[in-house]
Amino acid sequence: MRMKIIFVSLCFAILIHLSAGNKTESSVYPAWVALDYKSNPNNILISIYKKRNTTPHIPSPVDMALESFPLIDGHNDLAFLLYSKLKNNITSFNFNVNLKYKPGWEKSHTDIPRLRQGRVGGQFWSAFVFCESQYKDAVAKTLEQIDVIKRLIDKNSEHLQFAATSDGILDAFKNGKIASLIGIEGGHSIDSRLGVLRMYYELGVRYLTLTHSCDVPWATSSTKEDDDLIAVGRKLTTKVGLTEFGKKIILEMNRLGMMVDLSHVSKLVMNDALTTSVAPVIFSHSSAYCLFKHDRNVHDDILRKLKQNRGIIMITFYPGYVGGGEYGDLGIVVAHINHVVDVIGTDNIGLGGDFDGIPKTLIGLEDVSKYPDLLEALFESNPERWTQRNIEKLIGRNLVRVFREVEKVKKRLSFAEPLQDVISKDDFNLVKRNDIWVCRTSYEKKTYDRLIEKMNKTHK
């Protein structure tokens, strides 16, 4: 007992001696010393050492950026995964668990726990249907994909908040929720009809990718056969970008306040769209052609035009588009981001991972939980460039700025009547398919007269 008293006295003597050089620290010692002593008297010296040698945590620019502004990803194909696996029946689908531990979902990239771990603050969910549906049931299938996205958001409203405006993104972030927006991937989803485009906007769609891996009658795709997808469209003998009707679609999107997405389109369409659009455009999931020569990527001359347009390129993570092969890692994406910034600066770049729409991932970017790792690697690649402010631009400020400018154009064009053009037969004649008219009817006078005549005969 006497030895314990001597030991404790010695400890307090040491404490008083250590405190003498720092009056500020000494004022807070008694509370935690007493607490540590009561819990474990023999551990008091260790406690003193730990308290005096623990340096305050200084948040990195990445931490501060993610705390200050939502990280908004431009493209995620989870909705199509729901169609592929569940036929869109999400009654028993639990999005609030880590799906990689669920049988049959091991290769999935997205769920709420991993979105939270990745500190995602906003996500564009893609309403995508295969090119095989073109000229058939593309519109109906696209509506089903919009429907399942909305049902997923409603079912997980504790974590997800539907957004259709730039302010809506920031409102969700303030509420601690993930802003959930809708983009349609592929112009075949509008079936060459401006009325369908307008109804999609009414349902909350805020961008349209002009093509997917197939041409449409009014725009050409970057590739006729893109990876494992079978391209279905026209086989052109002459090079075409946007037709006149295609340009009308761009202008109607400007009037509506819908962002024009140029991922997947041909370079000719990129040029035509950048010339035609009066609002900033986006590439929702593309990368730098200079670093990896794939037709899905964007050439430096287009990047410079994008800067003039005040648009944004959101860098994708798919190894097939960024390079790296089987053993590529997140450093490849860092290189693509830095190259784009070298060419056009930090005001026109964002992130568009394409998770759950890609068969392979880079090492270190296996799913949506990995965004902070990417940002830390980016910061380490060039700390002087990647300040907190520039990281904020990359993760979301640039996208929100583009969205707001698109909304301003909508307001400026509020006086304009909806465009009511109908696609030209000449555009359809470019399509080298025998079944193009199978699922289309005509309201031309001759056809109408024949229908009336047939009806009259039937009722006699």
Burial zone of 1 (CB within 10 Å; 0-12 exposed, 13-18 middle, 19+ buried): exposed
Structure tokens at 104: 């049959």
Of the residues 36, 73, 75, 336, only one is catalytic, namely 75
DSSP 8-class letter at 351: E
Give the number of other Cβ atoms within 10 Å of residue 54's Cβ: 8
Query: Of the residues 188, 264, 294, 339, which is catalytic?
Result: 264
Q: What gap in Å lies between CA 395 and CA 372, rounded to an integer?
A: 10
**Side chain identity at 453, as an amino acid letter?**
E
Structure tokens at 195: 């009325």
User: What's the N-to-C CA distance of the chain in angstroms?
Assistant: 118
- CB-based contact 377:330 (threshold 8 Å): yes
Token digits for 144? 């089903």
Q: Choose the catalytic residue: 36, 73, 77, 392.
A: 77
Residue 39 phi/psi, 5° resolution?
-80, -35
Measured CA distances, 54 to 14, 38, 51, 58, 183 (Å): 18, 22, 6, 12, 48
| Cβ pair 280, 252 in contact under 8 A | no
17 catalytically annotated? no
Q: What is the DSSP letter of 4?
A: H
Catalytic option among 188, 191, 272, 285? 285
Tell me the two tokens of residue 142.
């696209």
What's 242's DSSP letter?
A: -
Catalytic residue among 109, 188, 212, 339: 212
Alpha helix segments (H runs only) across 317-424: 319-322, 331-344, 371-381, 388-392, 398-412
Of 73, 354, 356, 427, catalytic: 354
Active-site annotation holds for 459: no
Helix, strand, or coil (residue 326): helix
Please confirm, yes or no, whether 75 is among the known catalytic residues. Answer: yes
354 is catalytic: yes
How deeply is 39 buried, as exposed, middle or buried, from its count of CB atoms within 10 A (0-12, 13-18, 19+)?
Answer: exposed
Instruction: Tell me what percent of the chain is helix, strand and coil, each rounded to the nearest 5.
Output: 50, 10, 40
* Catalytic residue list contains 212: yes
* Cβ 127 vs Cβ 78: under 8 Å: no
DSSP-derived pairing of the beta strands 312-315 and 349-351: parallel
The closest alpha carbon to 69, from 396, 403, 459, belongs to 396
CA dist., res. 173 & res. 71, Å (int): 9
Active site residue 188: no
Kindly name the residue from 36, 73, 111, 185 that is annotated as catalytic: 185
176: left (phi over 0), alpha (psi -120 to 50) or beta: left
Residue 109 catalytic?
no
- Annotated catalytic residues are 75, 77, 185, 212, 264, 285, 354
